[in-house]
Amino acid sequence: MDVAVGTETDFTIPKLLLENQQKWADKVWMRKKELGFWREYTWKEACGNIKNFSLGLMSLGFQRGDVMAILGDNDPHWFWAELAAQAAGGAVTGVFSSSGAKEVKYFLEHSDAKIVMAQDQEQVDKILEIKDELPLLKKVIYWDTKGLRGYDDPILASFDSIAETGLEYGKDHPGAFEESIAKGKISDLALLMYTSGTTGLPKAAMVSYASLVASNTSFYSMNPITEADEWVSFILPGWSAEQGLGLLASLNRGVKMSFPESQTTVQENIREIGATVLMYPSRLWEMTAATIQNKIAETTFLKRQAFRLCLPIAYRAADSKCSGENLGWLWRIPHWLARLLVFDPLRDKLGLLKIRVAFTAGSALGPDVFRLITAIGVDLRQLYGMTEIGVSQHTGSDIKVDSVGLIYPGTTVRITDDGEILARGPSQVLGYHKNPKATEEAFAGGWYHTGDAGHLDEDGHLYYLDRVEYMSRLSDGTKFAPQYIESRLKFSAYIKDAFVVGDETRSYIGAVININYDNVGHWAEKKRITYTTFADLSQKPEVCQLIGSEVKNLNTKLPGGQRIQRFINMPKELDPDEAELTRTMKLRRRLVEDRYKDFIAALYGENEKVSMDVPVFYRDGRRAVVKAEITVNHVN
């Protein structure tokens, strides 16, 4: 069933689920790697689990309009629980498994969750720590029983026990599951999806089935996703990308969903499954580009020379593909040989050999990374949007690597006088849960105010620059977008993170850089440079020279006024557990700039070395201070 917007006013995801159960009963829907083996679930088996669990929720008093929170990593049980709650008329919100107890409390309290579905003992312990502060919480259900058999808190129950209760409940209430699904409307609330919270506490966007259908319909209009495709589910399940490209694609097009054994085996499992559709957040593509460059740097002389010889050919082919032009005859045979000898084996090692189409989202991917990934043979496309609305994406044959693509059909974009991107369309959410003021501000005049700066070109391509509030200007009037420069810095194999600074009181741009500890560590070992800790390695003169050469290389690609003149290597990594990055790995710029204001001051001071106290924040709430001597590096 390929649902078009507005064709079925009573459409809901649970209704689609029932149709699929009949259409694809014996076809494998989901697979999970467990103890080295793939456990398969057909549509019939999975739908049976969903039905029984949904009836079990009803027996607990879960009813239409209630909210279930799910806390855990990607697993069939995660999505069974979601679909079961929606079938019962409820909505679902996803909580990052890496969240601490205080963060979990915020999400559960704010969403008014009455039921929590938790993965395992680790996640259950977080909830038991805060359950007395959550008066609405009725039940905590877990799906992995390891380590929980000795727990006797009456609020706890296993997934299987609730499903067994549901089976008995269904015998006493025949047709209850189907009747509940039949009551659903396309305007019903399906998900409470929390924003990343880069500028404050995350807001809960209210996502209706109508919004999900509209997003999916727009996506399919630009992307040929079919029943033959394979998808490995590892992106945060509560994020819109996994909901749309993963779950809804499987429900709408029959895409097979596979779940990795753990977060550490994702690449291996993607390769093993032979996934054909892939979604990496921009950060993972940056890490992939860094891995490619590091592997080439460490390989044999002959392989290194072969890569360097073939790369210009691959770039020529990539540029032709992006522009929708055919590769000239003189280039086809060299390109075929380059793929056969160099790039196919490389993609195979990265788990990308079978990928037919790949996507990136989260934040704009730097053009250098985009070109490299495309050059090695991956059909990569940038998606641009946010939890509140889908806006644009690249098509397969009209790609400008520094744009975020063409506007989705049915969606309208306009740029305000101060450069802000406004959007409206059928995928727009209902507003923010329990926050009418934020809803009114964000959707003023019927347009969603993205807060992003950008522009449209004459061909209809949308360009994202940075958040409007982060767009900067130097004392001489030079304008620059910090995030754009940061994304170019992260193309380096030796730079993992960075934040760029400069304002109207400064005459030049400075950068605070996080080295890539693994890659720089390997480089240091080859150079026989001894070090003890991250902090020690980051301040080694040879490492400062290495990063300086990377910055200098970037400067040659930037306009004169936008070049970095000084940088500092941070003695510690930016960390989401310290609130410096969001759980989707976006920089919390204002917090970081305030926390490390001494670093910024040093960039514009007169001293070559500065001794300072570096704050460290632990997951359990403890704070500490690390004393470090920081080198201020000048870029010639």
- Whether 165 and 19 share a structural domain: yes
Question: How high is the pLDDT of residue 263?
Answer: 81
Residue 232: inside a domain = no
Say if residue 481 is in the same domain as residue 578.
yes
- What pLDDT was estimated at residue 88? 97
The amino acid occupying position 418 is D
DSSP state of 558: S
Domains identified in the chain, total number: 3
Tell me: pLDDT of 39 over 90. Answer: yes
Q: Is the predicted pLDDT of residue 44 greater than 80, yes or no? A: yes
* Secondary structure (3-state) at 503: coil
Q: Is residue 483 part of a domain?
A: yes
* Res 7 pLDDT > 50: no
**Domain span at 366:** 280-465
Q: Is residue 236 part of a domain?
A: no
In this prediction, residue 621 has a pLDDT band, given cuts at 50, 70 and 90, of low
pLDDT tens column, 479-532:
999 999 999 999 999 999 999 999 999 999 999 999 999 999 999 999 999 998
**What angle do helix axes 517-526 and 541-555 make, rounded to 10 degrees?**
120
Domain presence at residue 237: no
Task: Give 16's Cβ-side CA count (13 Å radius).
Answer: 23
- Which pLDDT value is given to residue 3? 39
Query: Where a domain ends, among 435, 465, 495?
Result: 465
CA torsion, points 160, 163, 167, 170, in degrees to nearest 10?
Answer: 170
pLDDT tops 90 at residue 474: yes
Let me know: does 70 contact 32? Beta carbons within 8 Å.
no
User: In this model, does residue 429 exceed pLDDT 80?
Assistant: yes
Q: How far is CA 444 from CA 202, 295, 522, in A?
A: 20, 50, 52
pLDDT, greater one: 587 or 257: 257
Phi, psi values for residue 600, rounded to 5°:
-65, -40
Position 5 scores a pLDDT of: 39
Please name the helix (run of DSSP H) or strand (run of DSSP E) that holds residue 542, with its range, or none.
Answer: helix 541-555
* 477 and 438 part of one domain: no
* Distance (Å, whole) CA 576 – CA 466: 20
Average pLDDT (100-113) is 94
Res. 391 pLDDT band, cuts 50 70 90: very high
Read off the CATH number of the domain in which 449 is found: 3.40.50.12780
Same domain for 312 and 437: yes
For the stretch 144-159, pLDDT in tens is: 999 998 899 999 999 9
Distance in angstroms (rounded) separating the CA atoms of residues 377 and 292? 13
What is the DSSP secondary structure assignment for residue 575, as one 8-state letter? -
% of residues, the chain, pLDDT over 70: 97
Please, what is the Cα angle at 335 between 331 and 341, to 5 degrees? 150
Whether the predicted pLDDT of 192 surpasses 60: yes
Pair (532, 601) in one structural domain: yes
For strand 256-259 and strand 412-415, is the pairing parallel, antiparallel, or unpaired?
unpaired
Residues 390 and 534 reside in one and the same domain: no
Mean pLDDT of 446-451: 96
Residue 273: inside a domain = no
Exposed / middle / buried, residue 164 (Cβ in 10 Å: 0-12, 13-18, 19+): middle
Residues 26 and 171 in one domain: yes
Answer yes or no: do 322 and 181 share one domain: no
For residue 630, what is the domain's CATH number?
Answer: 3.30.300.30
Mean pLDDT of 180-184: 95
Q: Where are the beta strands (DSSP E) in 331-398?
A: 357-361, 380-386, 389-393
Asked if the structure places residue 218 within a domain, the reply is no
Specify which of 203-212, 261-270, 356-365 reaches the highest per-range mean pLDDT. 203-212
Residue 408, C-beta contacts closer than 8 angstroms, at least 6 positions apart: 218, 219, 221, 222, 390, 391, 392, 393, 425, 427
Q: What's the CA gap between 142 and 56, in Å, rounded? A: 14
Do 317 and 434 fall within a single domain? Answer: yes
Cβ(117)–Cβ(71) below 8 Å: yes
Interval 562-597: pLDDT, tens: 999 999 999 988 888 788 888 777 888 888 898 888
The whole-number average pLDDT for the span 45-71 is 97
Contact 109, 134 (CB under 8 A): yes
Closest alpha carbon to 30 in 41, 38, 39: 41
- Does residue 8 sit within a domain? no
pLDDT value for 450? 95
Of the candidates 465, 494, 515, which is a domain's last residue?
465
pLDDT attached to residue 588: 87
Taking Cα atoms as reference points, which of 281, 258, 427, 283 lies closest to residue 359? 281
Rounded CA separation 524/576 (Å) = 27
Token reading at 195 = 């924003």
Same structural domain for residues 43 and 85?
yes
Question: Is residue 20 within 8 Å of residue 50, measured between CB atoms?
Answer: no
Whether residues 48 and 127 fall in one domain = yes
Are residues 570 and 478 part of one domain?
Answer: yes
In a domain, residue 195? The reply is no
The residue from 139, 154, 186 where one domain ends is: 186
Which one is predicted more confidently, 261 or 180? 180
Q: Mean pLDDT across the chain, nearest whole number?
A: 91
